[in-house]
A and B are shown apart, each in its own frame.
Chain A
C-alpha cells in the first residue's frame, strides 16, 4: 500500500465528511442535528489541514471551532429552547428553493471552471512567497509552527495586537447586548402599553 493511495483515502474520506456535514447542516430539521453536522464538517476541514501540513491550524480549528463555537451554538439552542424541529415543507417564497439550487450549481460550476483554468496558467514569479517555504519541503512537523510564529509575531504583530482589541470589544458588546436592564425595561414596557392603549 503506497503513500499516494493513503493520501487519496484521507482526501476522499475527509471530503465526504465535509460535504456530508454541510448537507446535513442545510437539510436537517432540528437545529441541534444541524449543529452536529457542523461539527462533522469542521473535523473534516481539520483533517484536510493536517493533510496539507498545516498542523497548528488543524489544532486551532478543533479547539476554537469544534470546541468553542459549536458549543456556543448548542448553548444558545438549549438556552432559547428552539430545539424543536422546524417544518421545512413550508416554502415562504414560492420559487425560491429551485432558484437557490440553480444558483448553487452555477456557483460550483463557475468556481470549478475558474480553478481548472487558473491551474493551467503560469504563476507570476513575484507572486510566489519570499523564501518562507512550507514545511513540506523540510518534512519537519515542528517547522510549520515555527514559520507561522515567525510570520505572525514578525510581519503581522500589529494586526495580532489588534485582534485582542477586537475580542475585548466583542465580549463587551455581547455583555451590553444580552444584559437585562431592569429600569429601562419597565419604562419601555410602560411606554409600549401606553402606545398600544392609545392606538386602540
Chain B
C-alpha cells in the first residue's frame, strides 16, 4: 500500500520550479525570456500558497493566489510595454545592451 500524496511534495515541486526560473533569469539574455522566467517563479509561489492552504486548512492562501495573479497580470502589462519601447529604439537589444539606462 502506497502513501497518499502529501502537501510537502507540492512544496518540493514548487521549489524546483522556482530554482529553474531563477537559473533561467541568470543565464538568459533576451529580455522577453527573462520575463517568462519571472512568471515561472511567480507560479512556483502560487503553488506553494495553494499547497499550504490545504496543509493548514486555511482558505486565505487561495485568496493570496488570486491577488498574486492580479498583480502578475498588471506587472506583465507594464513590463512588456517597457520592453516594447526599449526594443523599438534599439532593435535586438539584450540585457547586456541595457546595462546603462541611457536611451
Give how many A-B residue pairs fall within 8 Å (CB-CB): 225
**Is residue A127 within 8 Å, beta carbon to beta carbon, of the partner chain?**
yes
Q: Contacts A72-B80, A77-B32 known; A101 to B13 CB distance under 8 Å?
A: no
> CB-CB < 8 A to B19: which residues of A?
104-105, 107-108, 111
A19 to B15, CA, bound (A): 11
Smallest CB gap from B61: residue in A: A129
Q: A115-B8, A173-B81, A174-B77 are in contact. Are A57 and B15 (CB under 8 A)?
A: no
B98 on interface, CB distance cutoff 8 Å: no
- Binary CB contact string for chain B from 36 to 66 against chain A (1 if under 8 A, 0 otherwise): 1101100100110011011011111011011
B16: which A residues are within 8 A, CB to CB? 19, 108
Please classify the interface of chain B as helix (H, G, I), strand (E, B), loop, or mixed, using the class held by over half of its residues. Answer: helix
Q: In chain B, what residue has the closest Cβ to A83?
A: B32
Tell me which of B12, B24, B47, B82 contacts A26 (CB under 8 A): B24
In the complex, per-residue mask of A146-164: 1 if CB is within 8 Å of any chain B CB, else 0: 0110011001100100010
Query: Which A54-93 residues have C-beta < 8 A from chain B?
Result: 54, 56-57, 60-61, 64-65, 68-69, 72-73, 76-77, 79-82, 86, 92
Complex Cα distance, B85 from A79, in Å, reads 12
**A193, CB-defined interface residue at 8 Å:** no
In angstroms, Cα B85 to Cα A178, docked, is 6
Task: Tell me the smallest distance from the CB of B62 to a CB of chain A, in Å.
Answer: 6
Chain A nearest CB from B32 CB (Å) reads 5
Given contacts A7-B4, A148-B63, A152-B63, contact A45 B33 (CB under 8 A): no
Contacts A115-B12, A151-B60, A178-B84; A45 near B46 (Cβ below 8 A): yes
Given contacts A18-B13, A19-B16, A132-B58, 17 further A-B contacts (CB under 8 A): A7-B5, A25-B24, A25-B33, A26-B20, A26-B21, A54-B50, A57-B62, A65-B69, A65-B72, A72-B76, A72-B77, A73-B80, A112-B12, A134-B53, A137-B57, A152-B63, A173-B78
Q: Residues on B close to A: CB < 8 A?
A: 1-2, 4-6, 8-13, 15-24, 26-30, 32-33, 35-37, 39-40, 43, 46-47, 50-51, 53-54, 56-60, 62-63, 65-67, 69-78, 80-85, 87-88, 91-92, 96
